Amino acid sequence: MPTTSLHHLQQHTTIVADTGNLHAIERLRPTDATTNPSLITAAAQDPINQALLEQVQQQAEAEGLRDAALIERMIDLLTVQFGIEILKLIDGRVSTEVDARLSFDQAATVTKAHELIEIYQQAGIDRERVLIKIAATWQGIQAAQQLEADGIHCNLTLLFGLHQAIACADAGVTLISPFVGRILDWQKKSTGRTEIPVTEDAGVQSVKQIYTYYKQHGYQTQVMGASFRSTAQILALAGCDLLTIAPNLLDELSLLTTDIDQPLCLDWATQQPPMPQQRLDAAQFMQQHAQDPMSSELLQAGIDGFVQARQQLTAQLMSQLTTQLQQRFA
């Protein structure tokens, strides 16, 4: 039987499942898993997870919380509870995202991260198995630097530009998630092209550039390609430290037999043209960010999307509580 592309990929890269679907994770058995507000909101709408919703509601109510504070606590508890359920199915780590509304507030991000880790630890989960996911704004990166010093590992997400990756490496964060597919979407929109071969894919090229920069300068921060649109993008980045992949694309890879010609590796990176090392302060970061319309627009759009997903979850939970009250006094 021919060896599958998924098997080839696993020889070079750590596979991470990009989903909140517990059944998919149990079936695919990845090393790590990532979640985000959109995935948590989608999972919360699945009737199969109703017991988890009831569990976190009871826990939040037992803390004496009501109204808006109750909803906020339920969302935090639910986010962590999904992470706990995922950790029962994998051997590695789960990424749990901080409220995206805090993306430009360093102090509030640090506080919320500690709160999430405390919930995990109260459930008996070692903090080494959790990555706190934070948007790669300047404030988010500085919060991550503080958290790493506190022994809390971070995954900086919504990363679209080299300046973000440079700042993350200098901050000593554990992992970054450059978004491949959304960069390709931007490239198609800006050029008017509907098809772009993987050799010209700006998202793939961005991850390769970041990977090269990190390896040439000896940074320990791991690179995890994310937001894929096709198996071709994934296979083009074989050898990247980690790749977080949606279940449908993992299934496609398990049916393909395409081999991997040139995986990314340290030797490959050192053979690329030298990239000068940079150090960015806040002003330099902001300047480079402002001069990069793709990164600026996609970062803000990503944050807005995650905020909207949280608002949808808030509305769902409020509706659930209202229905319960109506039934109680009917």
Written as six digits, the tokens of 183 are: 């960069």
Cα 205 to the chain's mean position, in Å?
A: 19
Written as six digits, the tokens of 292 are: 């990069």
Cα angle 214-218-222, degrees, rounded to a multiple of 5: 50
Cα angle 244-245-248, degrees, rounded to a multiple of 5: 165
Contacting residues for 103 by C-beta, under 8 A, at least 6 apart: 109, 134, 135, 137, 139, 140, 303
DSSP characters over 227-295? --S-HHHHHHTTTSSEEEE-HHHHHHHHH-----SS---HHHHHTSPP-------HHHHHHHHHT-HHH
Written as six digits, the tokens of 64 are: 């004496």
In angstroms, the CA 283 to CA 288 distance is 9
Which residue, among 272, 286, 295, 6, has the nearest Cα to 179 in the 3D structure? 295
Helix/strand/coil for 154: strand
**Could you list the active site residues?**
133
In angstroms, the CA 196 to CA 199 distance is 8
Q: Tokens 């000896």 map to which residue? A: 218
Q: Which helix (H) or strand (E) holds 311?
A: helix 293-328
